[in-house]
Amino acid sequence: MKKIGILTSGGDAPGMNACIRSAVRTALAAGIEPVGVLRGFSGLIRGEFTPLDRSVICNIIHRGGTILETSRSAEFETREGRSRAASMVRDAGIDGLVLIGGDGTFHGGTLFQEETGIEVAGVPATIDNDVYGTDYCVGFDSAINCALEAIDRIRDTALSHERLFFIEVMGRDTGFIALESGIAGGAEEVLIPEDPMSEWELISRLREYFRAGKRSAIVVVAEADNPGWSFRLSREVHEATGIDSRVCVLGHVQRGGSPTARDRVLGSMLGSSAVNALQDGSSGCVAGELHGDEVLTPMKETWMKKKSLDSHLVMLKNLLSEE
């Protein structure tokens, strides 16, 4: 391996820059030339390469987003798009790629290696934390701490006005952010797709809380596949109970900002592991951390297998939200 490309793809996540920095430094230390690919798979298809030396990765570890920029490329989902990307990679003399992203990135990466023989290694980086093969994805810790800060702030105003609040957090299809920020924020209810609660049940529980003397409450809602659905929930609760509420959709605020220490360390560890995997001939894998150990998982498994929520945490959420 003489030259590797590094790209970030899908939703940006705090800690991606720490990961890029670590991959570059690991490559340089091994005598490998690192090259940046701009705008994820879209840039790969267009041959948008940029040199990555020590000066480029200076002073980026504390920055959110990704200096390489990112995209969700529909073109890379096609065989033609991947084949165009492969030509660009070969023309640039790149021997392997480090892919930093989520399950969509690894789906594309798996097909790319299978079809073209160009070696890839992945780093799981998504605030959703929904990549199989790692307990934590880069970006998740920053996102839950951002959500937690918002919950704490909203609790102040909820208490002052004796109000019910719905706080909607990100997490396409999954409730990782809602579960952990909801528990940490002491939410009265946490709605997640993995442990669904009917609207009728939510209404009757909220009615009970307020009947028993509660004057304010916080319901943390995972956006699931229906961003903005908390507004409907709020209306329905009002119609059924007369309880007035407010809605706060946190949205992309959770994706930006300086990464936490945990995300910087995780990004640094896994960025380095991915480069080592390419170098050791363990390509086609994603670097992760399971029970505190660094592991490599076949890239195919990371998007084909579904990562479950920690069942103890789900039980704990239910226990702690009961009155």
Give the residue with the Cβ less far from ligand F6P, 5 or 101: 101
Give the residue with the Cβ less far from ligand F6P, 175 or 288: 175
- Least separation in angstroms between residue 9's CB and ligand F6P is 10
293 is catalytic: no
CB-CB contact of 138 with 124 (8 Å):
yes
Angle, alpha carbons 49-136-106 (nearest 5°): 40
Beginning with the edge strand found earlier in the chain, give each strand of the sheet holding 96-101 in spatial order. 49-51, 33-37, 3-8, 96-101, 119-124, 285-290, 293-298
Residue with tokens 């442990």: 195
Residue with tokens 């504390």: 62
Beginning with the edge strand found earlier in the chain, give each strand of the sheet holding 217-222 in spatial order. 189-191, 217-222, 164-169, 245-249
Give the residue with the Cβ less far from ligand F6P, 34 or 102: 102
Q: Name the residue number minimizing CB distance to ligand F6P.
A: 11
Check 128, 130, 141, 263 and give the catalytic one: 128
Q: In whole angstroms, what is the distance from residue 55 CA to residue 308 CA?
A: 40
Q: Footprint of ligand F6P on this chain (CB under 6 A)?
A: 10-11, 126-128, 170-172, 255
Q: In whole angstroms, what is the distance from residue 137 CA to residue 140 CA?
A: 6
- Least separation in angstroms between residue 109's CB and ligand F6P is 16
Give the residue with the Cβ less far from ligand F6P, 133 or 171: 171
**Best CA proximity match to 211, nearest among 188, 240, 241:** 241
- Least separation in angstroms between residue 254's CB and ligand F6P is 7
Q: In whole angstroms, what is the distance from residue 123 CA to residue 116 CA?
A: 20
- Least separation in angstroms between residue 143's CB and ligand F6P is 8
CB-CB contact of 141 with 262 (8 Å):
yes
190 strand-pairing partners: 220
Give the residue with the Cβ less far from ligand F6P, 93 or 228: 228
Which residues have a catalytic role annotated?
128
